[in-house]
Amino acid sequence: MFKITLRTFRKLSQLFFLALFFLLFRLTDYSGLDEIPYAVNIFFRWDPLVAATVLLSAKVLVSLLLPSLFVIALTMVFGRVFCGWICPMGTLLDGTGKVIHAPAQSGQSLRSVKYVLLGIILVSSLFGLQLVGYLDPFSLLVRGFTLAVDPVFNLLVTGFFDPLYRYAPQWLSNISEPVYGVLQDSVLPYKQTFFQLSTLSGCVLLAIFALEKLEKRFWCRNLCPLGALLAIFSRFSIFRRFPKQACKGCRDCAPNCRMNAFDSDGRQLRHEECTLCMDCVDDCVNQPSRFRFAVPNSPMQIDMSRRSFIGAGLAGITLPLLSKVDAAHTLPRPFLLRPPGAADGNEFFSRCVRCGECMKVCIQNALQPCFLESGYEGMFTPRLIPRLGYCEFNCTLCGQVCPTGAIGRLSQSEKHSFVIGRAVFDPARCLPFADQSPCIVCEEHCPTYDKAIKFQEVTVVNRQGKSVALKQPYIIPELCIGCGICENKCPLPGDSAVRVVRAGKQSEEDGFGY
C-alpha cells in the first residue's frame, strides 16, 4: 500500500523543481514580447558557487545573484537539502541511478576530490580566472541541454514526423501532422538549432550520468563543487539526523545511503554529506531515527588533508598564471565577436559562467560556444558567428537572461547603437566589384538608420565588353554596429564577401580591429 512518508515529500519536491527547471528552459525563448516576463535564469541566480566565483573574480557584487544568499541560509539551517530536494542535476542522477541500478557503495571514497576542485575554482577566481563553468552543475546541465540534448531531441521527433508528412498517404499525415503541431507548441523547441561543440557538451553530460554506474550520485559525492560548498555551510546546520537510544545498530540503513554518508560504525552520519533524502528514516524497521533541530555536537570533518588543501591552493594560483601566458590572448582574433552588451575584455571573462543561457535564448541561433579561440578558459563563452546567424536588430534577449551581467541588459535604443563589430567588404569577392553583376542584398538588409551600407552608382565594362550600370556597396563605419545580417545574407557560397570584424571596446583592448 502506498504510504505517505517523508520520502514522498522529498520526491514531490524533486519532481517539482525538475519540472520547473524544464519549464524555465523552454521559456528561455522569444515569447512575442520584447521582454522575457519570467526569471528563467533563477537556477543560476540562487547558485552560491556562481555568486562566489563572480564576486571573487570580477570583484563586484552582482545584485542579480542575491537569491544565492537564500540557499546559503537554507543550508545553514537544514544542511544540504538543496542537493536532496531541489537540485535538478541530483534528481536526474537519482533517476538515472534507478534505471541503471547504481550501487550504493563502491568501496573507495573520492569524496575529497570535490573540495579540491572547489578550492581550485575559488582560488583561481580570486586571481581572475573563471573556471566555474566547467563544473557548476547548472552550467553543465543548461549548456548540455542547450547545445546537445534539445537539438537532438528536436531532430529525433522531426525525423519521425517528417517522412510521414512527405511520403505517407494523406490519411496518415492527416493524423500525424496535428500531433506534431501539438508537440511543437508544447515540448519541442521553436526550431532546430545547430551548435558548435554539441558533441563535446553532450559527451560531458553523458559521462556525468555514466559515472552513476560506479556508485549512486557519484557526481554529487565526489565531484560537484557546489555540493562541496554547501557541505561547508552545512557544518553549522541545526537540523540533523539523530538515532534514538533504541537504535540497536543493525546498520540496515547505512549500506543503502545514496551519499554514503554513514560512519564506518554505521550509526553516525557525516552531516556534510547527508542530503536529507529521508531514506534511512523511512526504511528503519523500528523508526528509531529521526531528524530534529539541535545544536550540533559532533565537530565535522571536511574530508580534505592539509596536503590536498595546499595543492588546491597552488593549482588555483598556477592556472591563472598559465592562462596569462597563453598566446590565445595576444593573438588578434578579428572575427571573434561577443554578444551585444557584453562587458569588455577581462570583465566579460570573469563574469561569464558559461551557463549557455544566452545561446539558448538567441533567436537567430547566432550565439555559439567558443572552443579554444580565446584560450582554454574561454571555452563555452558565447561568440557571435554571423554566417550561422546574425544578431536581430530589435532583440535584447541575451542580456536579459545572462545571470551575471557578463552580457549587460540593453534597452532597445541602447542596443540599436551598441557596436558588436564592424563590417568590411572584400571587393575581390563582392559581386558588383568582382563579377560586375548587381546584388546589394547586404544594403537591403542593413537595419541601422541611416543605413551603414550605402552604394555608389558606377558604370563599368564587364567581362563581355559591355558597359553596365552597377551599384557598388560600401560601409559607413560610424553607422555600422556589426549585427552581421549583411554577412549572413550575402548570397555568395561559402564565406561572405562582407565580414564583421571586432570593433568597439573589445578590440581596443586587444589592440586590434578598427
Partner 1 sequence: MDRRNFLKQVAVWSGGVLLVEPVFRITPDLLAAETVSPLLSVGVGKNYANLVASVLQPLGGMAAFVKPGDQVVIKPNIGWDRAPEQAANTHPEIVKAVAELAILAGAKKVLVFDRTCNEERRCYMNSGIKPALDSIGGRQIQCSYVDERKFVPVTIEKGRSINKWSFYKDALEADCYINIPVAKHHGLSRLTLGLKNTMGVIGGNRGKIHRNMGQNLADLNTVIRADLTIIDATRILLRNGPQGGSTRDVKVLDTIVASSDPVAADAYATTLFGLRPEEIDSTRAAAEMGLGEMRLNKIDIRMV
Q: Where does this chain bind partner 1 (CB under 8 A)? A: 30, 32, 162, 165-170, 173, 190, 363-364, 392-395, 431, 437-441, 443-445, 447-451, 455, 471, 489-491
Q: Smallest distance from the beta carbon of 366 to ligand SF4, in angstroms?
A: 5
Closest CB to partner 1 among residues 90, 484: 484
* Piece in contact with ligand SF4 (CB under 6 A), picked from 105-113, 398-406, 456-464, 469-477: 398-406
Does residue 353 touch ligand SF4 according to CB under 6 A? yes
Exposure on the CB side of residue 514, measured as CA atoms within 13 A: 10
Nearest Cα to Cα of residue 451 among 423, 476, 488, 471 = 476
Angle among Cα 197, 200, 201 to the nearest 5 degrees reads: 85
Site for ligand SF4 in 311-340 (CB under 6 A): 339-340
For 501, phi then psi, to 5°, come to -110, 160
The beta strands (E) that lie in 198-253 are given as 239-243
- Among partner 1, ligand SF4, none, the one that 451 touches (CB under a kind-dependent 5 to 8 A) is partner 1
- Among ligand SF4, partner 1, none, the one that 440 touches (CB under a kind-dependent 5 to 8 A) is partner 1
Q: Smallest distance from the beta carbon of 437 to partner 1, in angstroms?
A: 5
* Piece in contact with ligand SF4 (CB under 6 A), picked from 9-17, 181-189, 326-334, 363-371: 363-371
Closest CB to partner 1 among residues 409, 489: 489
Each residue 69-108 as x (binds ligand SF4 by CB under 6 A) or -, in order, gives: ----------------------------------------
Closest CB to partner 1 among residues 109, 448: 448
Which residue is associated with the grid cell 588543501? 309
Site for ligand SF4 in 402-441 (CB under 6 A): 402-404, 406-407
Q: Smallest distance from the beta carbon of 285 to ligand SF4, in angstroms?
A: 48
Which amino acid is it at 309?
F
Q: Smallest distance from the beta carbon of 392 to ligand SF4, in angstroms?
A: 4
- Among ligand SF4, partner 1, none, the one that 391 touches (CB under a kind-dependent 5 to 8 A) is ligand SF4
Closest CB to partner 1 among residues 278, 440: 440
Does residue 385 touch ligand SF4 according to CB under 6 A? no
Neighbours of 450 (CB within 10 A): 10
Q: Which of 57, 193, 364, 472 binds ligand SF4 (CB under 6 A)?
A: 364
For 417, phi then psi, to 5°, come to -120, 5
Q: Which of 362, 419, 430, 440 binds ligand SF4 (CB under 6 A)?
A: 362
H helices of 325-394, in order, are: 345-351, 357-361
| Rounded Cα–Cα distance for residues 67 and 71 (Å) | 7
Element (H, E) at 8: helix 6-27
Nearest Cα to Cα of residue 350 among 325, 381, 318 = 381
Classify residue 195 by its DSSP letter: -
Does residue 357 touch ligand SF4 according to CB under 6 A? yes
Closest CB to partner 1 among residues 87, 431: 431
* Piece in contact with ligand SF4 (CB under 6 A), picked from 107-115, 192-200, 303-311, 399-407: 399-407
**Residue 217, burial from CB neighbour count under 10 angstroms (0-12, 13-18, 19+):** buried
Cβ density class 58-70: b for 16+ within 10 Å, e for less: beeebebbebbee
**How do strand 453-461 and strand 467-475 relate by DSSP bridges?**
antiparallel
Exposure on the CB side of residue 426, measured as CA atoms within 13 A: 13
Which amino acid is it at 480?
C
Residues with Cβ < 8 Å from 479, sequence gap 6 or more?
448, 450, 451, 452
Q: 48-58 and 225-233 helices cross at what angle (nearest 10)? A: 100
Q: Smallest distance from the beta carbon of 456 to partner 1, in angstroms?
A: 12
Closest CB to partner 1 among residues 160, 165: 165
Does residue 352 touch ligand SF4 according to CB under 6 A? yes
Classify residue 299 by its DSSP letter: P
* Piece in contact with ligand SF4 (CB under 6 A), picked from 156-164, 240-248, 266-274, 355-363: 355-363
- Among partner 1, ligand SF4, none, the one that 367 touches (CB under a kind-dependent 5 to 8 A) is ligand SF4
* Piece in contact with ligand SF4 (CB under 6 A), picked from 95-103, 388-396, 450-458, 462-470: 388-396
- Among partner 1, ligand SF4, none, the one that 170 touches (CB under a kind-dependent 5 to 8 A) is partner 1
* Piece in contact with ligand SF4 (CB under 6 A), picked from 59-67, 93-101, 325-333, 364-372: 364-372
Instruction: Specify whether the CB–CB gap between 260 and 221 falls below 8 A.
Output: yes
Residues with Cβ < 8 Å from 10, sequence gap 6 or more?
84, 85, 276, 277, 278
Site residues (vs ligand SF4, CB under 6 A): 339-340, 352-358, 361-364, 366-367, 382, 384, 391-392, 395-398, 401-404, 406-407
